[in-house]
Structure 1
Amino acid sequence: MSADSENTPPAPPMPRRWSIGVNVFIQIMLTLVLFFGVNRLSYRYHTRWDLSPQKNFTLSQITLNNLEKLSKDVFIANVIPRDAPLFGETQTLLEEYRINGQGRVKVRSIDPLRDVERAEELKAETGLPLDQSGVIVRCSKRTRFIPEEELVIREKGGTEVQRAIKEYRGEDAITSALINVVEGDAKKLYFVVGKGSRTEAALLESMLAIGELGRQQNFQLFPLNLAEISTVPADADGVILCGLRYDLSEREMEIIKAYWARQRTGLLVMLDPSGETPRLGAFLGLHGVVPRGDRVLYAESTGKGARKEFSVQAIFDVESPITRPLATTSTNLPGQTESLEVRFEDEYLKNQNITVHPLMGASTRYWGEKNYLEDLPIADDEDVKEDVFLAASVERGSISDERVRLESCRMVIVGNAAMLDKQSALAVNRDFVSASLNWILNREKNIGITPKPKSNYRIQLTQRQSDIIFWSTTLVMPSIVLSLGLMVWASRRAS
């Protein structure tokens, strides 16, 4: 044996097989602990982003407030077929309700065409026929079914199936149903009849439109003929005077005044400019809102002759809780509209603890014209050129002390009675009336949920751009993956 071999240190012993196994086992366990730990943390602590252009899946503060205050468990079932256009959007929205429901909202998706057994169980539980798709909201023994068509607003014209979806109002409908089943007893509103209208159809359309709002906002609508009663029913939460063509008699006016004198009342007055209602106008004037008896219009001389425009473009006030959610939008009031004098700086009203606030004004090109029957009216001194108010609110009672505010009397006056007409009704007008009704009922928490507009986006690509996308996806990207695989294989072969 040579000296060099004697001085060479011995090779380190190879690790035993069991120690290698223990090492691998520990690595696997640490990997699993890290994997499940990260998943657990990401499940409990995560952030969600709504990247849709219209924020379709971001719940309004109104809905969040209602979900935070839930004191009962709520069950919501999505009974829309999975291949229906509204299924995905509705299911994603319902997940937001579940996530923000403080553990009290349970969501379930049941396809009535495929999950027949579960659909039959739901029928037995709720007693609903489920002959159409929609959303079921249930709390305790109270159930509300929202048909699929109540979740959307469609374009006008054509059949219901052919009309394109213009706006998605799922949050509005679902939150209203949630309030309905949680609150239980519905509010009662009385609609004054027997005083004429522009047409019988106009009166019926207004009642149907407000009745539809009632089904969504949890109040019931009843007709009220003042000539047949001596007092407004004690259970009335609000009274609606819409498009009266004939004035109230002295006796009927006393009934309204006696109702308004109660501790907690609500009035919605939608004026027909062509109506002869001096007593009603005097009553409104005593509370700071005076109907001027004019017509809000725009007139100009064109090459084809004089042109008068009575359909008014209106702008909403940004400070009132009624119109604040609508302040970023504008609307058009169909038919004819009269302007209102709003005396919000009147010292007498302040001494009477009455607060008056404008809600809606005409855009700058319109004015209140007294001589509206002329072929080409011109704004002069007797006309209203600035601060052309179209709607206003009146509140009798403290607005600083919330305990007193609950007992306040509230009234909304609008100088137009045609904004709910079926042929010309706009979604924003419906939202305004809905917000006004909730306000006079002292339910501000229900104000502020507006429909989400639906938009279609198209990407225009040139032929060259299309070719680049085609070759990138069919040749370049697969080649990169193949090359990386060959590099890994070659490196392993070399080692």
Structure 2
Amino acid sequence: SGREMKLLRDFWDKQGRILLLLDPSTQTPKLRGFVNELGIKVNDDRLMVFVRTGIEELAMTRDVQAHFLGDSPITKRLADVRALFFGGTSSLTLEPDRVRAASIRLEPLIQAEKGYFAEKDYNSDDQVKLQTDAKQSNNVPLTIGAAVEKGGSADQRVQLNSSRLVVVSNSTFVQDNAITQDQQGLDFISGSVNWLLSREQLIGIAPKIPKPLTFSLSEEALRRLRWILLVFIPLVPAAIGTMVWWQRRV
């Protein structure tokens, strides 16, 4: 409501500290307008990616695998650690030049992995259209979390009072059913709260960086694999059976 937004702005102007987890499926134009005033535009889109589930099969998922950037004290010890953000996630556009005159500094914290695209027609079930949009995406880094600071000092060694805000365009990654064994989401929230309270020295040590084993095949390699699976492997028992049958006849 208008009254709630006035209270929020007054709190911010009085060097308030805010942790904001946005649900993209919820219509909150006034709250998004407040964030936009601070130089962060919450885009009306959803992050998606197509993953290969077979030789010629693709599946689309809205769950976002993202990594933390190490330039902020919030995520310095989480640099390059990956986490899953389940459910809908929208992209954030940071416009630091627009708010620099107001002594507002922006810092990206979380970006989606390569391959994700921001789909504006996110309610569509047309797989052909979605695949076309994915191919036409320009593969720019998609930010889903950022920090805002008004006032203070850019030098981390200098402690001055300031207004601080952390915003993430996903509100489900810290729910009980979304927390993974490594708990990267909880580490991020803990670091965010400590930064908001000017307790940077209490930001904990991050978990070890996972290194998943991945490989990719070119179209030529996929064709060869198809021949091996569909032709040569079935021919082996057929050839053995033919040899056994021939030996028994002679």
> TM (normalized to structure 1)?
0.38
| Correspondence 1:407 to 2:157 | no
Alignment of 1:120-269 (within 5 A): 249-262=1-14, 264-269=15-20
Which of 12, 15, 22 lines up with 1:271 in the alignment?
A: 22
Q: In structure 2, do the counterparts of structure 1 residues 326 and 411 end up closer, same or farther at CA, with 3 Å as the change threshold?
A: same
- Name the structure, 1 or 2, with higher relative contact order (CA <8 Å, separation 6+): 2
Alignment of 1:36-75 (within 5 A): none
Q: Is this contact kept in 1: 2:63–2:84, CA < 8 A?
A: yes
Question: Counterpart of 2:84?
Answer: 332
- Matched residues in 2 for 1:386 and 1:447: separation? 30
Give per-residue Cα distances to partners, 1:465-486, cap 9 Å, x unaligned: xxxxxxxxxxxxxxxxxxxxxx
Q: Is this contact kept in 1: 2:117–2:134, CA < 8 A?
A: no
Q: Is this contact kept in 1: 2:152–2:160, CA < 8 A?
A: no
Give per-residue Cα distances to partners, 1:236-283, cap 9 Å, x unaligned: xxxxxxxxxxxxx11111110011010x32101000010000110011
Q: Is this contact kept in 2: 1:368–1:384, CA < 8 A?
A: no
| Correspondence 1:290 to 2:41 | yes
- Matched residues in 1 for 2:199 and 2:60: separation? 40
Alignment of 1:442-481 (within 5 A): 442-451=198-207
SS of 1:268's equivalent?
strand
The structural deviation recorded for 1:339 is 0.7
Q: In structure 2, do the counterparts of structure 1 residues 417 and 402 end up closer, same or farther at CA, with 3 Å as the change threshold?
A: closer
Q: In structure 2, do the counterparts of structure 1 residues 403 and 279 end up closer, same or farther at CA, with 3 Å as the change threshold?
A: same
The structural deviation recorded for 1:384 is 7.0
- What is the RMSD of the two structures over their aligned residues, measured on CA atoms? 2.5
- Matched residues in 2 for 1:364 and 1:452: separation? 21
Structure exhibiting the larger radius of gyration computed from Cα positions? 1
Question: Counterpart of 1:439?
Answer: 195
Task: Tell me which amino acid in the other structure corresponds to 1:310.
Answer: R
Structure 1 gaps, min length 5 = 1-248, 454-495
Task: Tell me which amino acid in the other structure corresponds to 1:399.
Answer: S
- Matched residues in 2 for 1:400 and 1:361: separation? 22
Question: Counterpart of 2:236?
Answer: none
Q: Is this contact kept in 2: 1:397–1:405, CA < 8 A?
A: no
SS of 2:60's equivalent?
strand
Structure 2 gaps, min length 5 = 210-250
Q: In structure 2, do the counterparts of structure 1 residues 410 and 382 end up closer, same or farther at CA, with 3 Å as the change threshold?
A: farther
- Matched residues in 2 for 1:452 and 1:380: separation? 32
Q: Is this contact kept in 2: 1:379–1:385, CA < 8 A?
A: no
Alignment of 1:298-313 (within 5 A): 298-299=49-50, 307-313=59-65
Q: In structure 2, do the counterparts of structure 1 residues 288 and 332 end up closer, same or farther at CA, with 3 Å as the change threshold?
A: same
- Matched residues in 1 for 2:5 and 2:60: separation? 36
Task: Tell me which amino acid in the other structure corresponds to 1:332.
Answer: L
Question: Counterpart of 1:429?
Answer: 185
Task: Tell me which amino acid in the other structure corresponds to 2:46.
Answer: R
SS of 2:177's equivalent?
coil
| Correspondence 1:352 to 2:85 | no
SS of 1:445's equivalent?
helix
The structural deviation recorded for 1:452 is 6.7
| Correspondence 1:317 to 2:69 | yes
The structural deviation recorded for 1:334 is 1.1
SS of 1:373's equivalent?
coil
SS of 1:351's equivalent?
helix
Query: How many aligned residue pairs are there?
Result: 202
Q: In structure 2, do the counterparts of structure 1 residues 417 and 331 end up closer, same or farther at CA, with 3 Å as the change threshold?
A: same
- Matched residues in 2 for 1:313 and 1:359: separation? 14
Per mean C-alpha deviation after superposition, the further-off stretch among 284-293 and 394-403 is: 394-403
- Matched residues in 2 for 1:295 and 1:287: separation? 22
Q: In structure 2, do the counterparts of structure 1 residues 353 and 384 end up closer, same or farther at CA, with 3 Å as the change threshold?
A: farther
Q: Is this contact kept in 1: 2:85–2:173, CA < 8 A?
A: yes
Question: Counterpart of 2:219?
Answer: none
Per mean C-alpha deviation after superposition, the further-off stretch among 272-281 and 292-301 is: 292-301
Q: Is this contact kept in 1: 2:19–2:193, CA < 8 A?
A: yes
Task: Tell me which amino acid in the other structure corresponds to 1:291.
Answer: V
**Paired-residue identity, %:** 35
Q: In structure 2, do the counterparts of structure 1 residues 380 and 332 end up closer, same or farther at CA, with 3 Å as the change threshold?
A: closer
Q: In structure 2, do the counterparts of structure 1 residues 381 and 365 end up closer, same or farther at CA, with 3 Å as the change threshold?
A: closer
Q: Is this contact kept in 2: 1:370–1:382, CA < 8 A?
A: no
- Matched residues in 2 for 1:330 and 1:350: separation? 30
Question: Counterpart of 1:361?
Answer: 111
> TM (normalized to structure 2)?
0.73
Q: Is this contact kept in 2: 1:296–1:366, CA < 8 A?
A: yes
SS of 1:332's equivalent?
strand
Question: Counterpart of 1:396?
Answer: 150
Give per-residue Cα distances to partners, 1:47-101, cap 9 Å, x unaligned: xxxxxxxxxxxxxxxxxxxxxxxxxxxxxxxxxxxxxxxxxxxxxxxxxxxxxxx
Q: Is this contact kept in 2: 1:368–1:385, CA < 8 A?
A: no
